[in-house]
């Protein structure tokens, strides 16, 4: 695929319409259209933007939080579905690539998932968070290697990670080793953590892996605080959204004030990344070859149905297993030939 060396990217900082799928999808489509009007060709929205994150899990007992889990489950996104159709239509109408975080509902389980749309509105793929962080383990299942990959686009090789995955060494290293050039760093607005975590991890990623980073983080607004009923523990704002230069970690756009909604745009120039390849290409000539990663890209399923193989005999085909001559019989035939 031919790569554009220069293009406009957008990072969206906004709050979801908390635990309301339909209203948040409307808001997401409006934000995508607004970013496209600003000239953005690649647009990123925050972690689990539809319909928001499980703040209660960090502050309530399991049974107290179950009522919120049910609301989250009912307002989560199946892939594909009417929700993904609407998001795809918006991407196609605006002729943009879109990456958005959702709570993905797959049968009876939820996953923290990024969806990657191309400019034709098609789903290129998804990334499920490999390990939910802390109390999130009570809400989301784990991803596997089958959704951990990069996508070839007109804007370079595109990948993404979610929130605490940026504190792990190997997810980022493996995406970089796959050739990632543009990275989506999707974060949820922090209920209590310091947003310096977002900044440090995102800027380090741009430096360590020579990738442009589109950092998008949601806002904790009063609606979330009121809905969960934790005015003493949840902090308003707590977002740090930016666009970061490859190799240097320099901020190209942003950050916005942590409680403010908005759209950040910056021109990304892939040519400017190349000068840093000479210094520290950590998955190439600057990779210490004593350390190698074994990556399992298999999709892990709870049920694998194995078709019973066919048995082949001299008289014809029957059900059963394939009849394989024993080593002794074949050896004997070889000896007879000699």
Q: Across-strand partners of 217?
A: 187
Spatial separation of the C-alpha atoms in residues 328 and 44, rounded to whole Å: 63
Cα torsion 12, 16, 17, 23 to 10°: value is: 60
39 close to 60: Cβ distance less than 8 angstroms: no
Spatial separation of the C-alpha atoms in residues 275 and 174, rounded to whole Å: 22
Predicted confidence at residue 235, as pLDDT, reads 86
Does residue 215 have an active-site annotation?
Answer: no
Spatial separation of the C-alpha atoms in residues 73 and 66, rounded to whole Å: 10
SS3 81: coil
Tell me which DSSP letter residue 138 carries: G
256 close to 241: Cβ distance less than 8 angstroms: yes
Q: Which residue, among 271, 250, 269, has the nearest Cα to 203 in the 3D structure?
A: 250
Q: What angle do the packed helices 82-94 and 21-37 form, to 10 degrees?
A: 10
Predicted confidence at residue 234, as pLDDT, reads 87
Predicted confidence at residue 310, as pLDDT, reads 57
SS3 134: helix
Q: For residue 38, what are the CA distances in angstroms to 9, 10, 33, 99, 337?
A: 10, 9, 9, 17, 80
Predicted confidence at residue 191, as pLDDT, reads 84
According to the CATH classification, is domain 6-280 in 3.40.50.10860? no
Question: Along the chain (338 residues), what's the average pLDDT of each consecutive run of 10 residues?
Answer: 87 98 98 98 98 94 93 98 98 98 98 98 98 95 97 97 97 97 97 93 97 98 93 89 97 96 97 91 92 93 78 49 44 44
Does residue 47 have an active-site annotation?
Answer: yes
Spatial separation of the C-alpha atoms in residues 129 and 187, rounded to whole Å: 11
Select which of 41, 47, 180, 245 is catalytic. Answer: 47
HEC string of 48-80 equals CCECCCCHHHHCCCHHHHHHHHHHHHHCCECCC
Select which of 41, 129, 157, 199 is catalytic. Answer: 129
Class of residue 79 by CB neighbours under 10 A (exposed 0-12, middle 13-18, buried 19+): middle
Select which of 29, 157, 163, 201 is catalytic. Answer: 163
Tell me which DSSP letter residue 305 carries: P
Cis amide prior to 266 (ω within 30 degrees):
no
For the chain, give every domain's residue range: 6-280
Does residue 260 have an active-site annotation?
Answer: no
Cα atoms in the Cβ-side hemisphere of radius 13 Å centred on 188:
28
């Amino acid at each position: 695929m031919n790569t554009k060396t220069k293009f406009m990217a957008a990072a969206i900082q906004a709050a979801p319409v908390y635990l309301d799928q339909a209203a948040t999808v409307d808001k997401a489509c409006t934000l995508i259209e607004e970013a496209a009007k600003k000239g953005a060709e690649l647009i990123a929205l925050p972690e689990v933007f539809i319909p928001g994150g499980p703040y209660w899990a960090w502050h309530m007992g399991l049974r107290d939080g179950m009522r919120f889990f049910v609301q989250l489950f009912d307002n989560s996104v199946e892939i594909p579905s009417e929700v993904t159709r609407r998001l795809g239509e918006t991407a196609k109408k605006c002729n943009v690539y879109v990456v958005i975080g959702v709570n993905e509902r797959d049968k009876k389980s939820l996953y923290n998932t990024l969806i990657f749309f191309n400019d034709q509105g098609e789903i290129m793929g998804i990334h499920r968070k490999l390990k939910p962080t802390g109390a999130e383990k009570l809400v989301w299942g784990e991803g596997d290697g089958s959704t951990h990959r990069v996508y070839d686009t007109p804007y370079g090789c595109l990948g993404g990670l979610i929130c605490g995955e940026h504190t792990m060494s190997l997810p980022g290293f493996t995406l970089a080793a796959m050739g990632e050039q543009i990275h989506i760093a999707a974060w949820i607005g922090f209920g209590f953590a310091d947003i310096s975590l977002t900044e440090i991890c995102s800027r380090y990623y741009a430096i360590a892996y020579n990738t442009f980073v589109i950092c998008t983080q949601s806002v904790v607004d009063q609606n979330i605080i009121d809905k969960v009923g934790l005015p003493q523990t949840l902090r308003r704002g707590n977002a740090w959204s930016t666009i970061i230069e490859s190799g240097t970690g320099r901020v190209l756009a942003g950050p916005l004030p942590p409680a403010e909604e908005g759209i950040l745009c910056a021109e990304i120039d892939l040519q400017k990344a190349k000068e840093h390849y000479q210094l520290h290409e950590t998955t190439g000539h600057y990779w210490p070859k004593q350390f190698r990663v074994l990556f399992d890209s298999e999709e892990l399923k709870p049920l694998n149905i194995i078709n019973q193989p066919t048995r082949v005999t001299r008289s014809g085909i029957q059900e059963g297993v394939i009849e394989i001559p024993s080593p002794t019989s074949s050896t004997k035939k070889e000896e007879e030939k000699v």
